[in-house]
Chain A
Amino acid sequence: MIRARTFTDARAQAHSNAELNWWIFMRISGLILVFLVLGHIYMTFIQVSESDATYTAVVAKLQNPAWKFYDWTILALTMLHGVNGARYSIEDYVRSRPNRAWVKTIFYTISAVIFTLGTVGLFSI
C-alpha cells in the first residue's frame, strides 16, 4: 500500500464504502430517471409545445399532488445524480488540492441553493 503522507491520502485509503455506494446509487437513480425524465420531456416538449408552459398551465398542473411528487422526485434524483457525476469530473480534471476543494465547495453550495429554490418553488403553489 502507498503510505499516506497527507490527511487526504489517509482518507482516500481509509476503509469506506462511499465510492461503492455512490456507484450503486448512480445506476439505480439512473434507471429510475430514464423513465421519469424521458416521460417529462415527452409530456412537455413532444405532446405539447414548449410555449404551452405558461404560468396558468404550470400552476394548474401542479395543483395535483401527484405531479408535485413526480417533479420533486426528478428534482431530487437528478440533483444527486448530476452533482455526483460532476464531482467525478472535478476529481478527475482539477488536480491541485486547494483548487479542487474550492471548486467543490462553490459548486456544492450553488447546487444546494438551486435545490432549495426548486423545492420551495414547487411547494409554494
Chain B
Amino acid sequence: MYRGREGQWAWLLHRLSGLAILAYFLLHVVSISLIMFGEDVYMAVHHTYDLWPFRVGLIFVTAGVVYHALNGLRIMVMDFTGRGVAYQRQMWYGVLGLTLLATAYTAWVNIPRILGGY
C-alpha cells in the first residue's frame, strides 16, 4: 500500500462512494419503476426493503452520498479557485467531520424506526 496522505484517501473514498452510489441508484430506479406494473409487484419488493439489513444499508448509502457531495464541492473549490489547492487537507477534514455528523443524525433518526418496526 502506497503511504499517500489525505489527498489519496479523499480520491479513493470519492471513487468508491461514487461507484457504490451508482450501484444503489440503478437498483433503486429498477425497484421504483416497478410501480408501473401495479401495486402488488411494487409492494412485494417494498416489503423486502423494509427488512432491517436493507434499512441499515440505506444509512450507509446516505453516508456515501453526503461524502461524495461534500468532497465534490471540495474538488470544485480546488478546480475553480487558485487558492483551494492550498487548503485541500483542511477542507477534507471538514468534509469527513460533516459526513460523520450527517450520518450520525441519519442513524439517530432511523435506528428507533428500525427497532420500532415503523
Contacts and interface: CB of A to CB of B under 8 A. Distances in A.
A68 B39 CA distance: 19
A58 B39 contact: no
Interface in B2-60: 15, 18-19, 21-22, 25-26, 29-30, 32-36, 39, 42-43, 46, 49-50, 55, 58
B118 to A, nearest CB: 6
A4 B26 CA distance: 37
A53 B46 contact: yes
Interface string A58-73: 1100000000000000
B36 A89 contact: no
A98 interface: no
Interface string B64-81: 011001001101100110
Interface residues of A, number: 38
A55 B39 CA distance: 6
B115 interface: no
B62 interface: yes
Nearest to A118: B29
A121 B106 contact: no
Contact of A82 (B22, B30, B79): B22
Interface in A21-43: 27, 30-31, 33-34, 37-38, 41
A46 B106 contact: yes
Choose among B18, B29, B49, B105 the residue with the greatest number of A CB atoms under 10 Å from its CB: B29
Given A27-B80, A38-B69, A121-B33, 12 more contacts: A27-B79, A34-B72, A50-B55, A50-B58, A55-B42, A58-B42, A86-B18, A86-B19, A110-B26, A111-B26, A117-B30, A121-B32
Interface of B: 15, 18-19, 21-22, 25-26, 29-30, 32-36, 39, 42-43, 46, 49-50, 55, 58, 62, 65-66, 69, 72-73, 75-76, 79-80, 105-106, 109-110, 113, 118
- The 5 A-B residue pairs with the shortest CB-CB distance, nearest first, are A121-B33, A82-B22, A118-B29, A124-B36, A55-B39
